[in-house]
Amino acid sequence: MRSGEPMDPIVRLGLDFYLEQRCLFVRFAYEDLVKELHKMGGEGNTDRIWYSVYAFLTASANIAKVLNPTKGDKSRGIELRAAYDIGKDALLMDKSLRDALEHYDERFEKYVREHPGCGFSSFCIVYPNGRPGDTTNWLATFYTDNLVVNFLDKSCNLKLIIATVEDLLPRVESDIKSLVSKRASSN
């Protein structure tokens, strides 16, 4: 794709299918997370909760990669964001929290060096009743009442992202139908 030229319809269709699937992955991870949070009186399996959070962040970051590419021809992202009316600065475009978790090992070593005697505190889940209390020594904190994830200096509200994804999904599905219809009528 050359700058200023529209995207090849086959490429567009392939990216739309990819976006559709990643939107569904975000939805599945969110549904799994909410289901787990409702287990055992609101205190589900902590590993399963963090798995769902991570799957959610990874799938949403993969959407951001397609809509806002950092490498290669960036005109693809411009065209797709315009088609789906998503701004470059939209919350969905922020991959920083996922990237920080992706490089957990580096962040953890740095954190321990900068906080001598901190003890081992890694991932924390804060339930509405306030447990476990002081979260200052935790690298990552997930607040179940508002579905906000903090990792060191990064923060992400999962409710806001799922709302954006749920708005994006029908538009992608509509685009797929249109492209498939055009392709069928041209053959």
- 158-177 pLDDT per residue, tens: 999 999 999 999 999 999 99
User: How far apart, in whole angstroms, are the C-alpha atoms of residue 48 and residue 37?
Assistant: 10
DSSP symbols for 54-123: HHHHHHHHHHHHHHS-SSS-THHHHHHHHHHT--TTSGGG--HHHHHHHTHHHHHHHHHHHSTT--S--E
pTM across the whole model: 0.85
Contacts of 176 (CB under 8 A, 6+ apart): 13, 16, 17, 20
Kindly report, residue by residue over 118-174, the tens digit of the pLDDT: 655 577 787 766 555 555 567 788 888 899 998 877 888 999 999 999 999 999 999
Q: Contact at 8 Å (CB) between 178 and 22? A: no
User: How far apart, in whole angstroms, are the C-alpha atoms of residue 119 and residue 149?
Assistant: 21
